[in-house]
Amino acid sequence: MSKFFDRKIEVIIGNRRWAYPYIDIDFSIKFDSDTIPDEAEVTLYNLSPTSVAQISKGTGIIVNAGYGTDTGTILSGVISDVFTSQNGVDKETKIKALNITQQYLNKTIYKTYHAGVKADYIIASLLALAGNLKANTLQLSNNVTYQRGFVASGKILNNLTRIARDCNSRFLVRGSAINFIPNQQGFQMGFLLSASTGLISVDKIDKSDSVATHKIEMLLNHAIAPYSLLQIKSKDLNGTVLVIEGEHKSDFTTSVEVRTL
């Protein structure tokens, strides 16, 4: 469980970056399987007037979170509203945003990489060029070395697809989650979830407007997204479930509604 210490949060808006624990940051970032952009709310505390003035409606916003060196993007969006107010001794800047990951990946670029460059290096570089995005999972079947270098041109999305194919791997985007997995893993990603790997609670639910059968809470996992498969081991539920919807929260939990398979 030691891997769940050293919590990290970074918020990037335009060319500015704020990071926890240097400032306090709260967030609630929802995700689901429909085609409507997911909603998020991010609160930054006690910013300077100059910083507040740089946050405006229509500006891009990235939120990366995780533990130590294991961080990933949980929001790649655009600000839909922002307002600042005083709450006791704290000044709160509340930001509402919509997730638009595909638009970030559709950015057009031209960049050359030197001979001998590795595929994983290019992937990280291209995601950074897209807007400081980070892969949630980067597991390549074969981390190809491009002996004659690599030229990335056109949409970042297309270049990442090409690299994944070269590496006999799959490139999947679900919500804000960006994942590279081995081909033999198929189109589904699985996570083993038990008390020792971050499981907090499992509760049955019965909602007339949803196919979900259980609500599961776990320690924050930035790679969880719609259609993720979870292998649950607990006294209340044992087996495989499919994620329908969920939420990442700044108390470093991820809660999901799932369907048993």
DSSP for 230-250? EEEESSS-EEEEEEEEEEEET
The residue-averaged pLDDT of 230-234 equals 92
The residue-averaged pLDDT of 97-109 equals 94
Residue 253 has pLDDT above 60, yes or no: yes
For the whole model, what pTM was predicted? 0.88
224 close to 41: Cβ distance less than 8 angstroms: no
**Which range, of 77-91, 125-139, 174-188, averages the lowest pLDDT?**
174-188
128 token code pair:
């950074």
Residue 3 has pLDDT above 70, yes or no: no
Residue 185 banded pLDDT, cuts 50, 70, 90: low
Cis geometry, peptide bond prior to residue 21 (ω within 30 degrees of 0): yes
The residue-averaged pLDDT of 147-157 equals 97
CA 16 to chain centre: 19
Mean pLDDT of the chain: 92
- Say what the pLDDT of residue 243 is: 93
- Say what the pLDDT of residue 113 is: 98
Residue 33 banded pLDDT, cuts 50, 70, 90: confident
Three-class DSSP category at 122: helix
Residue 232 has pLDDT above 90, yes or no: yes
2-99 under CATH 2.40.50.140, yes or no: no
The residue-averaged pLDDT of 164-188 equals 83
Residue 187 banded pLDDT, cuts 50, 70, 90: very low
CATH code, 103-185: 3.55.50.10
215 token code pair:
């609500």
Residue 186 has pLDDT above 50, yes or no: no
